[in-house]
Structures are given as structure tokens and as C-alpha cells.
């Protein structure tokens, strides 16, 4: 175990601890929790990818260009109507969770690696108002009822 721990630290991990929560319940995760708290207390250069005050389109375009490497975004008439509706209802300041394929950085599972020279189609935008986010559907993405906001970056 110590060899694995040292290799993890040499590779850049903040720390590496054995977690036995599966065997000991909460008591088996105390060392892990302490390591997480210690790492969280260190100075960080973390910043949000975008301010919540940006328009829905500006947030979508920021994510598509900065994270996915797209050249731009194309909106379906349905997506345009939802942007207008959510803005009118006061939901424009919510963070976004992009619903897209997990098989590519793009919306298209066939675009491998780090694709360039493409536009991302936004076909619809849905709201999870109770959870506090909007989720644009990219390409032919199908959804399930769980997603986290995609507004975080360590850049």
C-alpha cells in the first residue's frame, strides 16, 4: 500500500490514503475525510468558468468554445424559444449542465480526440429549477433525471 501511496504522490496527488468505508462504515473513511479537508484548506487558483450573470447563450457558447473546443453553436427553433422563455421566467442566472455524448468532447460520438472546426447544435434546453440548473441538449443526446452544473473550471 505504501508503494501505491508514494507513486500517487509522486504523480501529483495531494495525498493518498486507504479508505475502508466499505468494511468499517464511516469510521473507515475518516482518514480520507481528513485528507480532503487538508487539501481543501490549501490555497487554490480555482475560478468559475463563467459568471452566472451572463445570458444563457453566452454561457452555452463559453462552455462549447472553452471546454469542448467548438467553433460555435447552432440553436434549433425550440432551443431559441426555451432561451426566451427561461429568460422571461427569471431562470437565466442559473448554471448550466450540458447534456451530450460521453464518447466525444463534441456532441458527436464519431468525432474522436480533440475535434476542431465544428459547431455544436443545441436542439433543446430543459430546466431543473428545483435542483437549480438548466440543461441544454446537444446533438441527439437522450437524458436521464440527474446531472450536475458544468460551470466549473480549474483554469
Predicted confidence (pLDDT) at residue 144 exceeds the cutoff of 70: no
pLDDT in tens, 71-93: 999 999 999 999 999 999 999 99
Q: List, for residues 27-57, the tens digit of each pLDDT value.
A: 999 999 999 999 999 998 889 999 999 999 9
Count Cβ neighbours within 10 Å for each residue of 15-51 and write b for 16 or more, e otherwise.
ebbeeeeeeeeeeebeebeebeeeeeeeeeeeeebbe
* pLDDT band for position 145 (cuts 50, 70, 90): low
Amino acid at each position: 500500500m505504501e508503494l501505491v501511496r508514494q507513486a500517487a504522490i509522486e504523480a501529483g496527488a495531494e495525498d493518498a490514503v486507504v479508505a475502508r468505508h466499505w468494511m468499517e462504515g464511516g469510521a473507515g473513511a475518516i482518514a480520507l475525510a481528513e485528507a480532503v479537508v487538508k487539501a481543501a484548506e490549501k490555497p487554490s487558483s480555482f475560478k468559475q468558468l463563467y459568471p452566472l450573470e451572463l445570458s444563457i447563450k453566452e454561457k452555452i457558447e463559453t462552455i462549447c468554445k472553452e471546454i469542448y473546443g467548438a467553433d460555435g453553436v447552432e440553436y434549433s427553433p425550440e432551443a431559441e424559444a426555451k432561451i426566451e422563455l427561461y429568460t422571461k421566467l427569471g431562470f437565466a442566472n442559473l448554471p448550466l449542465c450540458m447534456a451530450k455524448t460521453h464518447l466525444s468532447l463534441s456532441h458527436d460520438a464519431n468525432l474522436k480526440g480533440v475535434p476542431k472546426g465544428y459547431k455544436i447544435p443545441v436542439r433543446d434546453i430543459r430546466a431543473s429549477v428545483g435542483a437549480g440548473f438548466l440543461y441544454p441538449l446537444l446533438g441527439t443526446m437522450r437524458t436521464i433525471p440527474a446531472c450536475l452544473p458544468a460551470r466549473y473550471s480549474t483554469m
